[in-house]
Every structure is written in structure tokens, then in C-alpha cells.
Structure 1
Amino acid sequence: MEILSTGEKIKRSRIYKGITLKELCGDKISISKMSCIENGKIKADEESLRYIAKKLQVDYSYLVRDVYDQIKYNVQEIKESTYSFEKLENIINYNLEYACKYGFNDLALKLTHILFELYMDNDKVENIQLLISKYYDLYQSTQRNEDIIIYYNDMATFFMKTAEYHEAISYFARIREIYENNYIEDRLSYIYACFYEGICYKNINIIEKAYECLKKVLEFVNIFSDKAKGDFYHEFAILNILLHKIEAERYLKKAFEYKKNDLKELAKFKGKNGEMYFQAQEVNKAMKEIKDAIEIYPREDKKGCGEFLIECIKTLYNNRQYEEAFKYTDEALDLAINIDEIKLIEKGYYFKGMIHQKKGEFIQAEMYMNLSTDFLFRFANSEERYKRYNEMAELYYNLGELKESVKYFTLAINIEKKL
């Protein structure tokens, strides 16, 4: 994807073929004019280019494609390529450098968007942070709504990914405003902006605002794929649950129709319902959904099932359903040990230990918490170690072993100073 100006192509071809300027010009073009063409000082007219192409025995289409056209062509090639991350990153940056050098801001903006998406797809958060300033400068150079929407959507998606939901909301809202204040035929970006703005509001627990955003999407649901329809109806049902609206059951049924044929999806669907019913203080419904979810999840997917069981145990534990949570800890542990998944093993022991504490069974709790801690410290970061030291200190305090309790509190304090 080497980028050369028309003049550079002529000069390179001429030198490669051993032809002098005078020989190339003949009696058709002056030497001074040809020199200016080669050095990019003037642009060759079509007649001159056709003569030069014939004289050098190169394709006219090759010569006539100047830097702008080459980068434009390369943009399309990049979109269709299947290169590795490193190669694709290098190609995009190479083209982006030339686009910026020649002041082709429209192409630079397209290339920056492609690079941004590449980093997003590969979880390169630091790369994105370094790119944002350049992207902002290029965005300011355009007046086209289509380009502005793409930029806003990229920023919103990034901030949503990094859980900076207030920032994401501001960009999704700007997309909505552009569509609401201008006639733009393609409404897909508008619909998704409404949807994800609503999800961001839900994530910061502003449920009424979330409901308002998702309600705007209802009339457009038919443009979604079947999977997207199921996801939308489920998210809308969740908001109805949290707002205690009677429509919740209706939208759960709609979502169920799109989830029912995939047992993993169906189990996750019911597990999430259970979590939301707990939030809405509808404990009986929550318990039923969680029990159904655990029963449905396919056991042949050992890792997935283990992770799912731990999530369900966590939900039950957080909602003080200790006896019910304890029923599933052995199965979760057996699955984790069977596939030697240390993070799941740690969680299994952890919840057994914590539930024993809630039941006042501190001797059993000590055994399982020590087992959990042994596994945790194989991969834990400082924050996880800090939390665990505090938990162990509290456990030993309840056991009346003050020396051990002080030891763990001291370890926690030493980490806290570094956090």
C-alpha cells in the first residue's frame, strides 16, 4: 500500500527505465514543466499524463491515481482486509500519516475511526486514550452530520466500555439531538443511541431516564435481528420490573420467545430476572427465577456452568438467601475442581466460608476461608488482597483469636497505604 504522488511515480518509473528528462519530454512537454510535475509543483493535464504513460509503458490508471485517490482506495482495502492486528495497525497509521501530511481531513477522519474501532475490538484502552486528542482535532474539521455521528458514537462506546457512564450518556444524547433536529433517513444510529443511553442510565441507577430512552426504541424494534430483539425486550422488561410496572410480564414473555431455544441464553435470562426481582423486593419471583435458571443451564458446559453457578450463588448471598446459596456451592466447587479452574475454585471456597460465617459456624468458615485465600493469592491484585485481609481479620475477631485478627488488620493497613 505504498503511497506516491503522480510526480513521484513518473520520476521513479523514468529512473528505473534509465530514461532522461529530455528523452521523456521529447517535443511534447518542456523539460521545466516535466520537472515541476515530477516535483509536485504543478498537476499534469490528462493529455500529458496519457503521453507519459505511453512513453514509460505504465498504466494510465496507475499514474492518474494521485495521493488522495490512493488513500481513498486504501481505505476500502483496509475495511475488507483480514490482516493481523499489528500489520493492520501499521497500514492504517501509514495512510493516516499521509492523509494528515497532505491535509486530507476527510480521509484522515475515516482512517482514525477505523483505527479507533480496531483498538476497541482488541481492548487497547491505552492506545485509544492516546488517539482521542487527534480524533477530536479531526472531528472539529468536519461539518457533515454523518461524520459527527460516527465520532460521537465512537466516544460514547468507549466511555461505556470503561464504565464512564455519564460521559457516554452525553455523547449518546448528542446523537439523538442531531437526528431529532435534522431529517436523516438512516435511523439505525439514532435507535441504538437511545438504547445504549438507556442502558447507561440503568447502570447508574437512574431508572426513570433509562425507561424513557428505551421506550423511544419500541416502535423501531422490527429493524433488529432476532437476537437484538430478545436483548431489547429483556432490558425493557427489567426496567419495568424495577419500576413495578404491570407491563413487565408482557415484555418478559416477548423476550422469552427469542431466548427459549438456547438453554444457556435462557438460563442467563432467568438468572438476570432473579437478580432484578430481588432489587424490586419481589423475593418469591426472584427465588423461582434463580432456581429455574440453575436447573436449565447445560451441565456439559463445565466451565460456563461453573461460572454461572457462582454468579447465582453470589446473587443469592447478596440478598441474604444463605441456605439456598449453600445448596449449590458443592456442585460449583466440583465443576471447578474437575476442570482445574483456580478462580472458580477460590470463589467456591469463598462462598462456603462466608455463608458459614453468616450462620455463626466460624470453625468451618475458617477452614474454607483459608482454602479460598490460598487460591486467591495466586492471582490477586492489591485491592483484592486488601479486601481479603479485612475479611480474615473480621473472621478471627469473631473466633476470639485477637492476635490473628490484629495480624490481618495490620496487613490490610499496609496495603491501604499503597492504594
Structure 2
Amino acid sequence: MEILSLGEKIKKLRKEKNLTLKELAGERITAAQISHIERDKSYTSYELLEYLASRLGVSVDYLLETKEMQAKKITDNLIIQSEIYIKCKDLEKSKEEINKVMSICTKYQLIDNYGRCNLLLATINLKQKDYNAAIINFEKSLYFFIQNNDKENIAKCYINIGKIYMEENFHKGAVSNFKFAEDILEENKLNDSSVKKDLYSNISFCYTQLNKDDEALEYIEKIKNLDITVNTKEEAELMVSKANKLMGMGKYEEAKQQFRLALELLEEEDNKNELANVYLRVCEVYENIGDSEKALDYSKRAYEIKKYDEDECSINVIIKIIQSYIQLENYEEARKYSKLALASSIKNKNKYFEYKALKYYSQIYKKEENIKMAIEYILKCINIVNELNDRKTLADLYIELGQLYTDISKEKELEYYQKGVCLYKNLEII
């Protein structure tokens, strides 16, 4: 992955082939002339380049590639490799690659790739929930992408800034950024269905938070008019390995193609999660406007995508289904999915989701007026939350437990109220 001048390339190839200056020169030129060329001190005609290329077993195009052209090819490949590291959740390794790329981009003034690097750094900071740093990187990316008139990446930056504002409950600011992105996508006829579905679901959610239910439903209708095919991931690691070998051989275009194929496979797997998240967001919109039937419908759609997975997204999907069934007073179905959530959380050793599943069991029994079982499950929740050292949630659970004891034991009711209030005071909530 060296970036070499013409002379440096010729010298490197000559040494790899164990040729002396005289052997490379042959009858065509002198050894002294070859020495001058290798030190970049002599002009080389195209005919001479053709001769040298044939002797060294490379193309004339390879010899003619400038340092800037080589830097562009190398950074293109390293950026794709960084994207793959991000998809594989190896964020530190990705940062290492990005820093290498930024150094090369600065040296050779590769504005477009410098912008892409800032976009990747922003993505990493977003995943690490460092929102201030992420916004700074997204704004830097915007500067470079606007310079290069890169509409697709400009839209991507606005979408991600919107997501950060949404995470921070600044829904008005989020909508503004989402609408900027929507305008760019529409004006430039950028028709990536997965991007649009994600965008529309987020706009819809923000409108419900701003009490604009009609606008929220309008964007759900837009989602219904789009279609996404869910694919599976395969052979990405093999492709990355092959691409790295091609990079080492200086075959940058072939390496880039392999990296791109690997990335597409990983993105297809990501699309599965993205589509599930879109349906979850639509589910939340319907929850907020009080339509439990529609909320259940979309949570079930997400479940069909994620039911064979064992990850955080799949448990979130099950939790949405439980919530919808509780709202619809279908407690048997709610209990069935609570059992699924509990089994999945225990299998994945995820204590937080184990607590959530047990909490729904308690909620179901409370709705059925089986207070004894509701208390039993709240006590199990308290044990887990104690382990997690989540004092705010623990305080909430003590208050809830006190309420459950209202008609059973005034002594227990007071005991648990006091525990909850004491924790609230320590946390300076009251």
C-alpha cells in the first residue's frame, strides 16, 4: 500500500525481479539512464515506459499513476474496510484505519474522502453515544460534501443529525433536519427505499411527540408505499480476506470490488435490522395515538423479521408485542411473549431485559388482579435491579411494590414506600 513516484515504482519492481540496472536497460538504454529515472531525475518518453512496463511485467497505466491517483485508490479501499469494521462492531480498529486515511487525504488534498472519513467518525461517535462529537463530525462532513455537491451524503448527514436531536428529545430540530434530507432525496430523485423508510418512520415519530398526529399518519402512509427486500449475510469475511491480499499485490480496483461486495452483504444484514427498527418506530407512533391494534400489527411485522435472531433488537420487538397485547387486554398472549422475552434474555445473559420480561409478568398479573403473583414478580425484579445498581429503577419498583401491598398489609406498604422515598432523596429527585 505504498504511494510511490514513477522512479520508486521502477526501482521496487526491478529489485523484486532481481534485475540489475544493466539487465533492465538491455539494449534499449544505458544503466546510467535507468538510475536517473529511478531517482526521478530524468524525463521518460511513452515508448520507453512501454519498454520498461513489458520488462517489469506491469501495465503502462500502473507506471503512469500519479501519487494522487494512488492515494485516492488506497484511501477508497481503506474507507470501505473501515465501514466493514464498523458493521462488525470493531469500532477501535475502524478508528485506526480512518486516522490513516485522514493523514493521506490531508497530504494529497483528497477532499471527498476526507469528508467520508468525518462521516465515519461521526457514525462511530453516534454508536458510542458521544452525541456532541458526532454532531461536530457530521457538520464537518457536510462542509466537504457540499463542496463536492455529494447529495447522497449530504442527506445522510442531515438524517443522522436529526436522529441525534430525536435522541435528545429535541423533536422540532430533528424534524427540520429530516425535512432537509427529504427535500434533497426528492429533488435529486435518490430512491433508496431503506433510507426513505427509516427517514419517514423517524419523521412520523417526531410528529407524534409534537402532537401532530395527522402529519404522523401521513408519513406512515408514505412508508406503506415503499418496499424493501430483506436479505441475509454470507461470505463477507472471505471477501475481506481476498481483498486484503489484492491490496497487498497492488490490485486496488479488484480489492475495492471485493471490499464493496463484502460491505453490501453486511449492509443487507443491516437492512434486516433497519427494517425491523422502522416497524418498531411505526409501532411507537400508533401507541402514542392510542391505536393498539395497528401498534400490534407493526410489532408483529418486526417480529417476523427478527424471530430467529437472538439480539437486543429481537427482544425489543417482543417487548413491543407484549405492550400491545396488554393494552388490548389479551393477557394470555402477553404472557406467552413475556415467556419468550424471558427465555431470550436469560440465554443471552442480558439482565436488563430479564428484568423487563419479569416486570411485564407482574404487570399482567396486576391487570388480572392476581396481586400475590404480581408481588412475587416485582420482588424478582428488585433482586435483578439491585445487581444492576440502577437506583432510580429500584426506587420506582419499591414504590410500585408499596402500592401492591395497599390492600394487603399497611406495614409492608409503608416499609416499601419509605425505601423508595429514601432512594429518591439520595438521588435528589425529591
Match of 1:353 among 362, 375, 393: 362
Larger mean CA deviation between 51-60 and 307-316 belongs to 51-60
Q: Distance in 1 between matches of 2:198 and 2:374?
A: 47
Distance 1:46 1:163, change over 3 A: farther
Pairwise mapping of residues 217-256 of structure 1 onto structure 2 (< 5 A)? Answer: 221=225, 224-225=227-228
1:210 — aligned with what? 216
Matched residues in 2 for 1:197 and 1:352: separation? 30
1:262-284 deviations in Å (ceiling 9; x for gaps)? xxx99x989x87993x755568x
Shift of 1:173: 2.0
Closer/same/farther in 2, CA of residues 4 and 365 from structure 1, 3 Å limit: same
Post-superposition offset of 1:98: 0.5
Give yes or no for contact 2:318–2:340 (8 Å, CA) kept in 1: no
Matching residue of 2:425: 413
1:65 Cα shift? 1.9
**Which residues of 2 match residues 142-291 of structure 1 at below 5 A?**
142-143=145-146, 146-157=149-160, 159-160=162-163, 163-164=167-168, 165-178=171-184, 184=188, 186-188=190-192, 195-196=200-201, 198-202=203-207, 204-205=209-210, 206-213=212-219, 221=225, 224-225=227-228, 276=286
Determine the structure 2 residue equivalent to 1:103: 109
Deviation, 1:394, is 4.4
3-state SS of 2:387 partner: coil
What's the secondary structure of 1:3's corresponding residue? Answer: coil
**Long gaps (5+) in structure 2:** 232-274
Task: Determine the structure 1 residue equivalent to 2:68.
Answer: 68
Q: Does the C-alpha gap of structure 1 residues 8 and 151 become closer, same or farther in structure 2, counting only changes over 3 Å?
A: farther
Q: Deviation at 1:384?
A: 2.7
Q: Which amino acid aligns with 1:149?
A: E
Deviations 1:313-357 (A, max 9, x none): 43354x4x6xx3544565456556666456565445433434555
Instruction: Report the alpha carbon displacement of residue 213 of structure 1 after superposing the two structures with TM.
Output: 4.8
> What's the TM-score, normalizing by structure 2?
0.58
Q: Within 5 Å, which residues of 2 pair with 1:287-298?
A: none
Q: Structure 1 residues 188, 47: closer, same or farther in 2, change over 3 A?
A: same
Q: More deviation in 404-413 or 105-114?
A: 105-114
Output the amino acid matched with 1:381. Answer: D
What is the identity, as a one-letter code, of the residue corresponding to 1:63? L
- For residues 64-143 of structure 1, what are the structure 2 equivalents within 5 Å? 64-74=64-74, 77-78=77-78, 85=88, 86=90, 90-113=96-119, 119=124, 124-125=127-128, 130=133, 133-134=136-137, 136-143=139-146
- Which string of whole-angstrom CA distances, capped at 9 and with x for unpartnered residues, describes residues 37-78 of structure 1? 37xxx9977567557767878654333222322233235545
Following the alignment from structure 2 to structure 1, what is the Cα–Cα distance between the partners of residues 14 and 338? 74
Amino acid at match of 1:64: L
Structure 1 residues 383 and 10 mapped into 2: Cα distance closer, same or farther (>3 Å)?
farther
Residues 75 and 362 (structure 1 numbering): CA distance in 2 closer, same or farther, change over 3 Å?
A: same
The total of aligned residue pairs comes to 358
Q: Deviations for 1:295-328, whole angstroms, at most 9, x for unmatched residues?
A: x989x979899876654443354x4x6xx35445
Larger radius of gyration between Structure 1 and Structure 2: 1
**Which runs of 5 or more residues in structure 1 are unaligned?**
229-264
Distance 2:38 2:230 in 1: 61
